[in-house]
Structure 1
Amino acid sequence: MDFRQLRYALSVARERSFTKAARRLNISQSAVSEQVKLLEQEIGFELFHRGSGGIETTDRGRTFLYESERVMSDLLTLSDTARRLRGALQDTLTIGMGSGMAQIFIPRLFADLKSNLPGVRLEIKTAPTSNIFNELHEERIDAGIAIESDPDRLPAGLVFDRLIDAEMALIAHPKHALARSKPPVDIGRLLAEPFIMSELTVGYGQVVLSLFTDLGIKPNILAVVDNIETIKIIVQSEGGIAIVPRACAENEVALGLLKALAIAPARNVAFSLFRRREPLSRRKEAALLKVRELLKA
């Protein structure tokens, strides 16, 4: 048996489907089935019942896979030990986040990084929500910060832990007529305004679009871009207005580059830390736990 066969079998157990496991592993279903079959032949018993109702783990399979998960974690930890012994003293924890989230979370992470995460090097990747989910799925990052949206849009095999809630706000150029508004801006009265939107099917873009669809109206979408930083620059250039988490625009508002206004109906979004269900090495698990504490602070 080898590491790959155990990974495939554990993925089938979590997804309860060879098809979903193959999709999650980004390989063919036949490759998953073949490797699991070879593993079953080697250990001498079936891991799964394959019936019309789907895939179920056998009693012996459940025990074997439980121990396999523990062994895999130990192997990852052993790999860390070998890296340290050959002089690579730092573990790298790779975290993805949307560009607009940097001003919220980066100060929390780097306030005292050496003391909070000794022996760990952080690698930060900025990407749209859909890319973060793909990077997690393909095991190119260890965790990702993204905005919760429709649970049905969350890829299989990912779990999340809520960090903070944030108010959504309308951002406009300080000279825009809306910038003088005192009461919350009524979303239903903005049909003629050109909106700059983000991804419409996931993350905060899907939350913004739902503001309009809940009212039975269609926004006047001038452009769709994949990151908040570009949205803010377009609004600063008087190219349109947008709705973003207020916390993502605090720096620009403080500098007088943007005006942030409350909206009606009010809407909050939740920033969460997403990760795969599979355990990381023990050192990485400890580092990720500390990162979560820092992000919630």
Structure 2
Amino acid sequence: MEMRQLHYFLSLAEEGSVSRAAVKLSVAQPAISRQIRMLEDELGVTLFHRTGRGMTLTGAGGLFQSRLRKILTDLSDLEHDMRQLKGVIEGSVVLGLPPTESHIIVPPLLRSLKRSHPGIDLRIVEAFSGDVSELLTTGHIDVALFYKAPRTKHYVAEELLHESLFLLQSAEASICTLDVLTVADLARWPLVLPSRRHGLRALIDQVCDEQDVELDVAYEVDSLMPLVRMVEEGSVATILPYNAVQREIDHGRIVATQINPKELRRILVLATTTSHPVRAAMGVVAQLCTNLIRHLAAEKEWMGIISRT
């Protein structure tokens, strides 16, 4: 087997079409077809079903694909490890984090990474905490920042900070006169919240169940910006960290009232995947994230940080 055959196979499996794979690889279609036939002859199995609508993997092809991905990942990791021996840290890293934190962390993280380790290619995946932890479990991301939730799986993870939550209302429609709210107070407002599959909602529901508080959830929205826009319109309030809407607060469109952190708080953790070995580049990204978040907290640039006690 040749490496080009293996790469041709993976591209064809992903694209499902020789013509699309040829465009992706910048290779002539006959060359791909010839190399795939040679690979099948060498293995003694049929890897693809050929139909008028394209190419689909056979059972043997599916097994070959799953094993091959791991082998090529291991080879890539080995290559990076050998380069690290020369003092060069490089490679691709996928970082997952919630949308409420990405706008605070990502810009300074990318600048710091470019200065200190230009050979590391960082890709950002933005998703709610529940989805981030799921992607970490399946190995689709390497390093993750997410918030603990009642149903979050257990990880070897480092707690970075405890964060207060706030009731957010339209500045024009706000009727709150209290400095700090209890969880029971939250029942007074119609709310827009993420759906129950997300970590923040799971946390809110758990605390409300424990205190026998029933919230008025008028809408469920799983996208941050539409949720914030609904709050600005004035018919509903929401529960989020301060930093998620700091720009809107600074511009006078939204007002934030702290919820008693002894009753309701979030815990931000950092974790790395266990689906494949931790590469040096992953360690660099994880450490930069940790350093950056602690710096933002110490400099009061991350609003709503509270004591862990």
TM interval, short-chain normalised: 0.5 to 0.7
**Correspondence 1:281 to 2:283:** no
2:119 corresponds in structure 1 to: 119
The CA distance in 2 between the partners of 1:282 and 1:189, in whole Å, is 48
Q: Decide which structure has the larger Cα Rg and report it.
A: 2
Query: 2-side partners of 1:286 and 1:131: how far apart?
Result: 23
Structure 1 residues 218-258: Cα deviation after superposition (integer angstroms, max 9, x where no partner) = 11111222243332122112241111112222222112121
What is the distance in 2 between the residues matched to 1:281 and 1:81? 7
Q: Deviations over 1:9-60 (max 9, x none)?
A: xxxxxxxxxxxxxxxxxxxxxxxxxxxxxxxxxxxxxxxxxxxxxxxxxxxx
Which consecutive aligned stretches of 4+ in structure 1 deviate over 6 angstroms post-superposition?
Answer: 81-84
The one-letter code of the counterpart of 1:215 is: Q
**Distance verdict in 2 for CA 1:275–1:82, change over 3 Å:** closer
Runs (5+) with no aligned partner, structure 2: 1-71, 296-309
Alignment of 1:177 onto 2:179: no
The worse-fitting range, judged by mean Cα deviation, of 169-178 and 284-293 is 284-293
Deviations 1:69-106 (A, max 9, x none): xxx9985532336899xxxx952211111111123322
Report the more deviating stretch, 257-266 or 184-193.
184-193
- Which range moves more in the overlay, 264-273 or 129-138? 264-273
Check 1:266–1:260 CA distance in 2 against 1; reply closer, same or farther (3 A cut): farther
Q: Which residue of 2 aligns with 1:244?
A: 240
Unaligned runs of 5+ in 1: 1-71
Give 1:288's aligned amino acid: A
For residues 202 and 274 of structure 1, what CA distance do their matches in structure 2 show? 18
Change (3 A) 1:192 1:95: same
Output the amino acid matched with 1:100: T
Aligned-residue Cα RMSD (Å) equals: 3.0
Distance 1:116 1:255 in 2: 35
Task: Work out the percentage of aligned pairs sharing the same amino acid.
Answer: 17
**Aligned equivalent of 2:93:** 93
Q: What is the deviation of 1:142?
A: 0.6
For 1:168, the equivalent position in structure 2 comes to: 165
What's 2:206 paired with?
A: 210
**Length-normalised TM-score, structure 1:** 0.64
Deviation of residue 217 (structure 1)?
1.8
- 1:175 to partner: Cα distance: 1.3
Aligned equivalent of 1:142: 142
Q: Aligned in 2, Cα 1:184/1:294: closer, same or farther, shift over 3 Å?
A: closer
Change (3 A) 1:213 1:129: same
Q: 1:274 to 1:228 in 2, by over 3 A?
A: farther
Structure 2 CA distance, aligned partners of 1:195 and 1:246? 17
Which amino acid is 2:245 matched to? A
2: CA distance between counterparts of 1:117 and 1:178? Answer: 50
Q: TM-score, normalised by structure 2?
A: 0.62
2:217 to 196, 218, 221: 221
Contact kept, 8 Å, 1:163 with 1:292, in 2: the verdict is yes
Match of 1:258 in 2: 254
